[in-house]
Structure 1
């Protein structure tokens, strides 16, 4: 029954990849699991002196920001609305393969350069209130005076960027759209530090419990779950290093030289996170070894006790076996105090062996 259930799960898991099989290249097929009932589009249109924050209800209103003199950030929540996303993409003249990659949530972090825009895909990671890791794909389209972000569902790590835009904090209101892209990517990377901090705390707690020598029976399940979470973070971070490295070396009119320095800082953060992830990965393997050693030690303790008990009873069983034989003539059986003497000898053997094992520190 368990094997059957496992096969069902594997079949369901692989269906996301089968959605693209046989499709024409450029066909928009949403492969994620988060579905919103309502498409939500927010926009921040700003310059140094003003900010206009709008929630777009009519999809056609998203087309109004392409040729403005200000900078616009359009945030689209709900990748399952493929028709609306295609409408937005057609207006901003996005390549059909770009639109396909936006709704394909199994995409690897990457960057694609086009004449009028740059397309970036990365993974957003954070923990919810129950400390469950949330992994979500985020796509960015950088244009001359706009950045469009596409998310699976509402809820992200960009609240600090919104606050900086609303209150004109920092440089974001005075820079070009490439700086806005940097700020958004930097916010995603900064939350990687929060994720690895929580991972580090979990590893330390498990390590302390294992060193105490009395681990819970289900602690191996927690170690395996933690291992999967670390692999998720690793898959999100390592390809992103290549993306940011390419942005540093890119020669594109949309990326200004003064912004390259900020992207270099993001790359340094990614290197730091990557090093921590490698350390935590080694620690997880050590925890697995430590758990197996703890289980083996507990088994050895049980076997030691059983062996000592068996060893104690070997001479006692030998004596009882001799005098339990059915020979007609055994001289000691005729003696009046033979029974009590035999009990005394057996008790002395028992106590003497216990004292011997104690001195040898086997007990």
Structure 2
């Protein structure tokens, strides 16, 4: 669907928003506004990474914002983010997207219709800023997930799904962080040093903040994975230690039982009156000595 959000007759610029276009609609827009075929092809790639490119008379941008709804096992660029293709000329901006994009109506209502946007570049800045804010909201959720895994690892019994959940958490943070890193050029070109103003500096500040947050989340998830494997190794060592202690206690007892379990005819101890209690006392004494030895060594 092709929708004009800002008419050139009413404003000093034109904003055309294209939602879930067919190939025919996309090629019609390309023909009407003289867009290059390579840019159109990039629009059709659902998993294209962010980029900023000068294509002759216009600037072509692919920007990705965080998806509103994400599955618990989502771990790819296409599952975690939505793509927006942006074409910008001096007095024209075209936005093309497959999935619903509610931020476009918000920008239109809060900035365009109120006369706060004076140029196509200003609209681009608001688009980038609104897209970055979607990562800000998701960062809060990822932080809560990390706290949940920390609580389960340190304070509660280990769950079978903990490692799987940690894997998908790490992938989500890693993919989102990579998208933000690749969006750096878009931010640099949106806020050039020679034309920087209050609006574009706000966008840059938001980007720097998100970059720091996702770097911290990335380090925390890696740290959590390392702790998980360390705790798992420690628990395994504890189990092996307990089993080893039990085997040391029973090894001499098993040896004694094995000796007197042999069916030889000439075994004088078998006919002694106090043979059985004597062997039991000897086994108890051996067990006591092993216990005292372990105690002195600090193994119990």
Q: Give the shorter-chain TM-score range.
A: 0.7 to 0.9
The CA deviation at 1:360 is 5.2
- Alignment pair present for 1:75 and 2:17: yes
Where 1:329 maps in the other structure, the secondary structure is coil
* Inter-partner Cα distance in structure 2 for 1:351 and 1:43: 90
TM-score by length of 2: 0.86
Go from structure 1 to structure 2 and tell me whether the alpha carbon gap of 1:177 and 1:99 turns closer, same or farther (over 3 Å shift).
Answer: same
The CA deviation at 1:348 is 4.0
Q: For residues 222-278 of structure 1, what are the alpha-carbon distances to aligned partners after superposition, in whole Å with 9 as ceiling and x for unaligned?
A: 111111111221221112111221333388xxxxx4x64422332232222222222
Match of 2:59 among 95, 115, 118: 118
* Inter-partner Cα distance in structure 1 for 2:293 and 2:203: 67
* Inter-partner Cα distance in structure 2 for 1:226 and 1:102: 29
The CA deviation at 1:345 is 2.6
Match of 1:98 among 39, 43, 52: 39
The CA deviation at 1:362 is 3.4
Q: For residues 105-155 of structure 1, what are the alpha-carbon distances to aligned partners after superposition, in whole Å with 9 as ceiling and x for unaligned?
A: 332312223554322111111342766663111011223433221111224
* Inter-partner Cα distance in structure 2 for 1:339 and 1:333: 8
Q: How many residue pairs end up in the alignment?
A: 294
- Alignment pair present for 1:141 and 2:84: no
TM-score by length of 1: 0.72
Greater relative contact order (Cα 8 A, min sep 6): structure 1 or 2? 2
Q: For residues 3-40 of structure 1, what are the alpha-carbon distances to aligned partners after superposition, in whole Å with 9 as ceiling and x for unaligned?
A: xxxxxxxxxxxxxxxxxxxxxxxxxxxxxxxxxxxxx3
For the 8 Å contact 1:141–1:148, the answer to whether it is kept is: yes
- Alignment pair present for 1:319 and 2:256: yes
- Alignment pair present for 1:42 and 2:3: yes
* Inter-partner Cα distance in structure 2 for 1:192 and 1:286: 22
* Inter-partner Cα distance in structure 2 for 1:129 and 1:292: 27
Go from structure 1 to structure 2 and tell me whether the alpha carbon gap of 1:260 and 1:277 turns closer, same or farther (over 3 Å shift).
Answer: same
Q: Which residue of 2 aligns with 1:160?
A: 106
The CA deviation at 1:329 is 3.2
Where 1:172 maps in the other structure, the secondary structure is coil
Q: Which residue of 2 aligns with 1:223?
A: 166
* Inter-partner Cα distance in structure 2 for 1:322 and 1:115: 95
For the 8 Å contact 1:73–1:147, the answer to whether it is kept is: yes
